[in-house]
Amino acid sequence: MFLKSVFSLTFLAILKSGNKTILALCLILSCQFMPDLCYPTPIKHEGHGGPVMGLATSPEKNLLVSTSFDYSVLVWELDEVREIKQLMGHEAAVNVAKFSNSGKLLATAGDDAKIFLWDFYKPVIPKTSRFILDEHTAKVVDIDFSRDNQYLASASWDHSIKIWDAETGKLVKSIFGHDGPVNSVKFSEDSQYLYSAGYDGTIRHWKLSDGDEVRTLVDNGWGVNVLMVDEVENLLLYGTINGLMVIRSLDGKEVFIKILEEGAPVSALNYYPNDKKAIFGNMNGRIILIDLAKMKIQKDFLAVDGPVWDAVYNSKNEAVIIGGLDDTLIEWRLKSFHSNYFLPKSNNRRFQETDALSNGALQFARKCSICHTLDSSEIGRRAGPPLLGVFGRKAGSIADYPYSDALLKSTIIWTEETISWLFKAGPEIVTPGTKMPIQKIKKNQDRLDLINFLKDATRTN
């Protein structure tokens, strides 16, 4: 505070002197040593115990939903971004959430290849899901409700699209045709057709009554990650794995926006027809907000250090809320900075630390820290149980932690030998059927260093 006061008085004196050179130097130094004077800062909303993968909003209900690597779904008040409830049930990272057009249903889907349907008919948010849809055989990465709220479509890395009855949870139809994972699905305005995008670089148009492909809209060779369609406004929006962001007419006659950031896959896209806005995000942390009325870039900025997994726009607060590698939701108030503001890079996440770490600590940071804590017996909100006192502990034995059935039935006692085996052979061999993500450490010395680090760091006395 003292330094800021001194700087303010000095700055005023230089400003009155009219010396532009000294003034410019003063500004540079102030931004270098007191960055909070020059750079805007986002608002961080804590709640999750792992990276935030997906976001969905229901403005009519003033609700925001976030999904996470920690297997949880959080419901927030949208305008204040205040946590209301935690929804549990998924057995792996939750990738995506979507409200029905009526706002009465919420669908979530994840790496466990399951889709949960949650009832939002009543003011009280439910503790358990209404249905669990489990016909997919690989992770589900996108979902969409039909305009009439009757159907739900899902896109999966099992190369299929599935259509479900949203009222009963029954599978209606499976559609195949993409040569590889399907990344995105969107219903037509009349709920009779479907659009999809895939790793094979195509955007396809399907007739739901028979599941036949009507036409291929895009075939560009690069995988298409994200997709939005507006038949009323004749708009097709999409982003590709090679960093291309496109807004064009659905009929293909005009291209309005075409932005390429080579080597930065487009990882997020949302569309707001009532606000005339579209928002793109990529793996480099860049956010581009498009003013669709003018077909011009409104904001272009580096919002997070790392990938943007999802981003939503809140017109009431003129804010963008972002999910990325951080445990927090990142909210940028758009009036707080100019168009092309770029966030300074930092590397302060627990699983990205590299400086001044022993090899054992480095292995823990990279392989374990995203899911586990070391120094607390509290369960918290990480995807995995706390590791304090892990040596000599029976697998699946911490009270109140939501273990999978496979781990609850396990007879494994965690020792130097069993932990080494876990990282050598992999969880799919040592603990088959559990929620553990596949993590292996090939080098014997790396495993030994990790175990020695854990023995010291997880001591209870």
- Phi and psi at 124, nearest 5°, equal -85, 120
Q: Which CATH number fits domain 43-336: 3.90.79.10, 2.130.10.10, 3.40.50.11540, 3.30.420.40?
A: 2.130.10.10
Residue whose pair of structure tokens reads 């445990």 in the numeric block: 327
Q: What is the mean pLDDT of each run of 10 residues along the chain (461 residues)?
A: 50 54 55 54 91 94 95 95 94 96 95 96 79 97 97 98 97 97 98 98 97 95 97 98 97 96 96 97 96 95 93 96 94 78 52 64 81 73 83 87 82 90 85 75 88 85 69
Q: Enter the tokens of residue 353.
A: 């630390």
pLDDT for position 456: 86
151: nearest Cα among 184, 182, 186, 127: 186
Q: How far from the centroid of its chain's Cα atoms is residue 324's Cα?
A: 5
Residues with Cβ < 8 Å from 325, sequence gap 6 or more?
Answer: 51, 304, 305, 306, 307, 349, 352
Residues in contact with 121: Cβ distance below 8 Å, sequence separation at least 6, in sequence order: 104
Q: Which long-range contacts (CB under 8 A, 24 or more apart) does 34-38 make?
A: 34/3, 34/4, 34/7, 35/344, 37/4, 37/7
Phi and psi angles of residue 64, each rounded to the nearest 5 degrees, phi first: -125, 140
At 341, list the tokens. Answer: 């503001």
Structure tokens at 391: 């040596």
Distance between CA atoms of residues 175 and 161, nearest Å: 5
Contact present, 370 and 70 (Cβ < 8 Å): no
What is the model's pLDDT at position 346?
53
Tokens of 453: 């680090």
Q: Which helix (H) or strand (E) holds 138?
A: none
Can you tell me whether residue 90 is helix, strand or coil? coil
pLDDT at residue number 11: 47
Q: Which fold has domain 350-457?
A: Cytochrome Bc1 Complex; Chain D, domain 2 (1.10.760)
Model-level pTM? 0.79
Contact yes or no for 45/328 (Cβ under 8 A): yes
DSSP letter at 394 equals: B
